[in-house]
Structure formats: structure tokens, C-alpha cells
């Protein structure tokens, strides 16, 4: 894996900055640690002692900031000046070396400057200690600060990611992101969102109605799920790219982004893509069982798969998950209210709507069952392994039953008007 330090911008310039003013940056309120009770540094190795003994034999050179050309991890000379001033404030004995324990103590006294914990900085210091002498020189300090600077931009991402992590996994996840990088970004949710927007505008602009809040649905499109083309298997997935009006696509994309990005940051894109498209496929099958004469477009089955995947993650980590009851109540009330209203509007209202309720149900079933199977579980318990097999078997049997019903033409059709459903 590529070292994160290699991603840092390397600054190259002449030595014109050597004689610049070395006064501390006024914007940096760095607390010096001189005259403070600093934990004793670990005993230096024989190699380190020889190095200092040799330094005593030879008169030390004047202690000044290295030239910008010697530093590979500063973006500009002002940044190098700030890091040099901080390095001098920590280096109490002015020998050009900072023991890692002293570095850790300095970080605890200057949290506003680093923005991450002392333990995380200690790990970075050990990583940047190229000669493994437990002493940090200024070039190593600059490499460490380059990594620290990256963490400041990641703090918002870490907090967002921790929203779907149990408490005991948050520290591990944060440490992982600090030690490596926030890579890859949430590519799947971003890509599928862009595709759905693109397809909507592409097909809406070519219609007489143009951009309309409600329809018309592109039922004649080869991507839509059609009762006349049940054997064209790609339609069971591609129908999520089409929508019935801009209100339909906006609501789906908002929920998709809110729910999918946080999950993908934790569980990676392949897992979320599998749950999303499994929800779409399951929703399409269940929809044909209950509405065998109706067309289907929309991404709601995939969105409901993401909703129920959140619930699966909560139940898997029930004892460790923060705000578990709030999450369960929020998602539970939302799902029950949405299903209840959609079922009434679709099957019992005087003027039935075009909502594909069974597509939502199929997506939710896939999200719950496959969420247990696919999502990451770093602390696997015995009962969770049993639940893993139970969920996998139930999902496979459910899919097999739906496929048999669709293939044999068996349906449980609820009387309603023949309309084009929007998922």
C-alpha cells in the first residue's frame, strides 16, 4: 500500500528562505513546554548515545531552520516556519532531537494545534521514525505534521462515519483512517446518483411534457420493468435508473445520499452496491408477484434496502451502538408510516396512486437479510454467526420462491386500477 506521506505535496525552492525571520507565527498559539514536568524520555540506544557523544566531540552547528529545499513535506515556506517554531518549542535541550514520549506530551498540551489525540500522533511519530531510534528529527517531524494536517480535513468525515458505527468500533475506525487515508471515497452512491439524474434528464427532455413533477413514466424504455418482458433479466436492475417526474427522482436521491454515503464510508462500495441492487432485484420480483400487469420504474427498492441495512447494523451491534433506541424508533416509525400510507393510497383509496408498495417491501426484506450477511462485523459473536446463516438461507429461499412464482405466472393480485407504478 502506498505510504500516505508519499501523497503529500513536496515543496521545492531555492535557499532564499534560509534567512527569513524565524519568529513564531502570531496566528499559532503554541504552548511551549519548557520548564514543565515532562515525562522522562526512554533511554537512548547505544547507537543514539554514540551519535550524541560524537556530537559533543565536534562543536554543534548553529541551530537554525533547515532550508526549504531540504524539507520535502511543506507546502510553502510559511508552513515550514510554523513547524520549525513548534519543533524548537518542544526540543528543550536544543540538540535537534525530540523523544517520542516528549512529543506525545507536547501534543496533549497543544491539542488546538494538532487536532488529533496524543495516542494517534504517537503512532504517526513511530511511523515517521525512519531510523527507529525513538527520536524525532526535524525532517521526520515535518513528515509527521504533513500526516497530521491531513487528519484535520478528515475529522468531519470521521464524525459522519461514526454515525453508523458502534462505540467500540469508532476508535478503531478513526485510527484506521488516521494511519492510512480516507480512500476510496463513496464512489458507488455518487456514481449511481449521477446516473439516475442523467437518465432522468435525458428521457424527460425528449418528451412532450418535458420536465414534469409527476410523469410521464418512460414505460416503453428498454430499461423499465415491463410485464411484457419478464424474461429480459437486465430490466430487474436497470429500472432504478428511470423515474416518473422530478419530484420522484429528487425524493429518492435525497434519501439515497443521506443513507448511502455514511454506510459506504464504513462498509465500502462493493458491499453497499450488492445490497442496493439486491434490493432492486428483490423488489422487482415481489412486485411481479403482486402486480403482474403493471410497469415499474424508480429507485425506491434500493433506497429501502439501505434503510433496512441501517437497522441490520444496529441490531448486530445492539449492545455497543450509540443512540440505538433513537435509530430504531426513527427508522421504525418512518417505515411503518410510509408503508401504511402507501398501502392505503395504492389499494384502498378512492383514487389509487401509482406507488409500487411491494417494490418497497422487497427492498426492505433484502436490506435486512443481506445487511446481516454482507455488512462488516468486526466483533463477530456466536449468535451472529448463526444469524448470518439463518438470514442467508431465508433470503435464498425467498428469492427462489419469487422466481418460481414469476416464471409460472402465479400471482397474488390485489384488485386495483391498472396503472404504471413508480418505485
pLDDT of residue 402: 93
Per-residue confidence band for 181, with pLDDT thresholds at 50, 70 and 90: very low
Q: What is the reported pLDDT for 144?
A: 75
pLDDT 10s digits, 315-331:
776 666 666 788 788 87
User: Is residue 320 domain-shared with residue 370, that is, in the same domain?
Assistant: yes
Instruction: Give the CATH number for residue 329.
Output: 1.20.1540.10
Task: Categorize the per-residue pLDDT at 396 as very low, low, confident or very high, splitting at 50, 70 and 90.
Answer: very high
pLDDT reading at 250 higher than 80: yes
Residue 410: pLDDT over 60 = yes
| 405 domain residue, yes or no | yes
Residue 133 corresponds to which cell in the numbers above?
531510534
Q: Chain-wide mean pLDDT for the chain?
A: 72
What are the pLDDT digits (tens) for 190-233? Answer: 999 999 999 988 888 776 666 777 767 777 888 888 888 888 89
- The reply to whether 14 falls in a domain is no
Last residue of a domain, one of 179, 195, 226: 179
> In the prediction, which pLDDT does 211 show?
74
**Confidence band for 379, pLDDT divided at 50, 70 and 90:** low
Confidence of residue 177 (pLDDT cuts 50, 70, 90): very low
If asked whether residues 111 and 202 sit together in one domain, one would say no
Residues with Cβ within 8 Å of 379's Cβ and at least 6 positions away in sequence, in order, are 168, 169, 317, 320
On whether both 225 and 284 belong to a single domain, the answer is: yes
Determine which of 9-23, 148-162, 278-292, 344-358 has the lowest per-residue pLDDT on average: 9-23
Query: What is the pTM assigned to this prediction?
Result: 0.59
- For residue 312, the model assigns a pLDDT of 85
pLDDT of 320 reads 61
Any idea which residues carry the catalytic annotation? 300, 360
User: For residue 92, is pLDDT > 80?
Assistant: no
Segment 362-373, tens digit of pLDDT: 999 999 999 999
281 and 418 housed in the same domain = yes
343 and 405 in a single domain? The answer is: yes
**pLDDT (0 to 100) of residue 72:** 59
Kindly indicate the confidence band of residue 291, based on its pLDDT and cuts at 50, 70 and 90: confident
Same domain, 157 and 252: no
User: How high is the pLDDT of residue 33?
Assistant: 46
* Mean pLDDT of the 392-397 span: 96
pLDDT at 285 (0 to 100): 93
12 pLDDT tier (thresholds 50, 70, 90) = very low
**Domain shared by 215 and 125, yes or no:** no
What digits encode the pLDDT tens for the residues 96-151?
888 877 777 776 666 655 666 667 767 777 777 777 787 888 777 777 777 766 65
Q: Supply the pLDDT for residue 84.
A: 77
Are 175 and 224 members of one domain? Answer: no
Range of 245's domain? Answer: 187-422
**Are residues 200 and 166 both part of a single domain?**
no
User: Between these two residues, 272 and 51, which has the higher pLDDT value?
Assistant: 272
Amino acid at each position: 500500500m502506498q505510504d500516505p506521506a508519499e501523497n503529500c505535496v513536496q515543496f521545492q525552492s531555492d535557499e532564499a528562505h534560509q534567512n527569513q525571520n524565524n519568529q513564531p507565527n502570531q496566528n499559532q498559539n503554541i504552548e511551549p513546554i519548557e520548564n514543565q514536568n515532562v515525562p522522562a524520555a526512554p533511554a537512548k540506544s547505544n547507537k543514539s548515545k554514540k551519535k550524541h557523544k560524537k556530537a559533543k566531540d565536534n562543536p554543534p552547528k548553529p541551530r537554525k531552520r533547515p532550508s526549504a529545499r531540504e524539507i520535502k513535506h511543506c507546502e510553502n515556506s510559511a508552513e515550514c516556519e510554523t513547524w520549525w517554531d513548534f519543533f524548537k518549542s518542544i526540543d528543550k535541550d536544543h540538540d535537534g532531537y525530540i523523544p517520542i514520549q516528549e512529543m506525545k506530551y507536547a501534543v496533549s498540551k497543544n491539542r488546538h494545534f494538532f487536532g488529533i489525540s496524543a495516542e494517534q500522533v504517537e503512532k504517526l511519530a513511530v511511523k515517521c521514525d525512519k531510523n527507529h531510534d525513538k527520536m524525532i528529527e526535524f525532517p521526520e517531524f515535518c513528515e509527521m505534521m504533513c500526516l497530521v494536517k491531513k487528519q484535520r480535513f478528515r475529522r468531519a468525515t470521521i464524525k459522519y462515519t461514526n454515525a453508523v458505527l458502534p462505540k467500540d468500533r469508532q476508535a478503531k475506525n478513526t485510527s484506521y483512517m488516521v494511519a492510512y487515508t480516507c480512500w476510496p471515497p463513496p464512489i458507488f452512491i455518487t456514481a449511481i446518483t449521477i446516473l439516475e439524474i442523467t437518465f432522468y434528464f435525458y428521457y424527460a427532455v425528449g418528451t412532450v411534457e418535458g420536465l414534469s413533477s409527476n410523469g410521464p413514466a418512460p414505460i416503453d424504455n428498454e430499461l423499465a420493468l415491463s410485464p411484457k418482458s419478464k424474461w429480459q433479466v437486465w430490466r430487474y436492475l436497470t429500472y432504478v435508473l428511470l423515474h416518473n417526474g422530478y419530484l420522484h427522482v429528487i425524493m429518492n436521491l435525497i434519501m439515497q445520499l443521506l443513507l448511502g454515503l455514511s454506510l459506504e464510508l464504513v462498509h465500502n462500495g462493493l458491499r453497499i452496491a450488492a445490497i442496493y441492487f439486491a434490493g432492486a432485484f428483490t423488489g422487482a420480483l415481489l412486485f411481479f408477484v403482486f402486480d403482474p400487469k403493471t410497469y415499474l420504474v424508480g429507485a425506491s427498492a434500493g433506497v429501502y434496502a439501505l434503510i433496512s441495512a441501517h437497522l441490520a447494523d444496529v441490531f448486530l451491534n445492539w449492545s455497543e451502538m450509540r443512540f440505538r433506541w433513537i435509530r430504531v424508533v426513527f427508522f421504525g416509525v418512518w417505515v411503518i408510516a410510509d408503508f401504511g400510507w402507501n398501502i392505503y393510497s395504492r389499494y384502498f383509496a378512492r383514487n389509487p396512486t401509482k406507488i409500487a408498495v411491494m417494490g418497497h417491501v422487497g427492498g426492505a426484506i433484502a436490506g435486512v437479510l443481506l445487511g446481516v450477511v454482507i455488512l462488516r462485523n468486526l466483533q463477530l459473536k456466536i449468535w451472529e454467526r448463526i444469524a448470518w446463516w439463518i438470514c442467508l438461507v431465508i433470503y435464498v429461499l425467498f428469492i427462489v420462491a419469487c422466481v418460481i412464482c414469476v416464471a409460472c405466472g402465479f400471482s397474488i393480485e390485489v384488485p386495483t386500477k391498472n396503472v404504471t407504478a413508480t418505485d
